[in-house]
């Protein structure tokens, strides 16, 4: 009876070598593909986050507009630590030092907005409120609905009324810590929410736009985060603050 011929030691080595070679080629191809695909994937993810941010900014802006339409054109007041509503501009003409985001407590309390998730940009380092934040906004004390800095990615200009110029910026990604007159209207004054690439801006007439610099898309304003002298009395010059 004839014996079957097996694979010799040299033959096994050749097969193993071929398999290893094929595996290495596949690995090289996958690594090369990753080098080209990862940046594209990251870009697509940021585009999705930017779109989500735009939707949130629009919801806040529309809530502000609805409030103004029901309150003789006035946007919400600011709120102090005792839950007292404080006008952004006092009788003496001075601008209140209270954070702009305190006014969002009124939108929650009066149910113009029904979730705190809308206040967080997914591209930012901010986080949605946790279980320590009231869940029943209508019955909560107003001061307890003031969003901590880490739970709010947006700012607005509380000195404005709905009668301001349509091109006046109202709500936007919050300003960075390094806003400077030296960088007026440039990308250097952009929000940090999107790594200085730009910000979503909601305007007084209800339209929203992605801006790649801190200059508005129309009007006389030169920088939505700066505000010139007397901006609090201007219908065109905005100063978006936290």
d(CA 214, CA 16): 61
pLDDT for res 23: 81
pLDDT for res 42: 72
DSSP 241: B
Which parts of the chain have pLDDT scores under 50? none
Q: ∠ CA 54-58-63 to the nearest 5 degrees?
A: 155
Note the pTM of the prediction, 2 decimals.
0.84
pLDDT for res 8: 56
Average of per-residue pLDDT values in the chain? 91
d(CA 157, CA 241): 6
DSSP result, 66-107: HHHHTTTTBPPPEE-TTS-EE-SB-TTSPBP-S-GGGGHHHH
Report pLDDT digits (tens) over 55-98. 999 999 999 999 999 999 999 999 999 999 999 999 999 999 99
């Amino acid at each position: 009876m004839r014996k079957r011929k097996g694979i010799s030691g040299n033959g096994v080595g050749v097969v193993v070598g071929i398999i290893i070679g094929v595996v290495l080629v596949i690995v090289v191809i996958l690594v090369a593909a990753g080098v080209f695909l990862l940046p594209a994937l990251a870009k697509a993810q940021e585009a999705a986050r930017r779109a989500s941010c735009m939707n949130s900014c629009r919801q806040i802006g529309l809530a502000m507009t609805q409030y103004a339409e029901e309150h003789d054109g006035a946007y919400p007041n600011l709120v102090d630590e005792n839950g007292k509503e404080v006008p952004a501009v006092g009788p003496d003409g001075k601008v209140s030092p209270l954070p702009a985001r305190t006014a969002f407590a009124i939108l929650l309390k009066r149910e113009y907005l029904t979730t705190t998730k809308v206040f967080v940009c997914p591209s930012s380092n901010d986080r949605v409120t946790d279980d320590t934040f009231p869940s029943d906004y209508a019955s909560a004390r107003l001061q307890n609905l003031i969003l901590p800095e880490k739970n709010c990615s947006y700012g607005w200009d509380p000195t404005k009324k709905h009668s301001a110029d349509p091109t006046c910026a109202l709500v936007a990604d919050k300003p960075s810590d390094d806003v400077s007159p030296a960088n007026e209207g440039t990308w250097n004054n952009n929000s940090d929410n999107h790594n200085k690439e730009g910000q979503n801006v909601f305007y007084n007439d209800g339209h929203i736009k992605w801006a790649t610099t801190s200059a508005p898309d129309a009007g006389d304003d030169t920088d939505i985060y700066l505000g010139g002298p007397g901006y609090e009395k201007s219908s065109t010059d905005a100063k978006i603050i936290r």
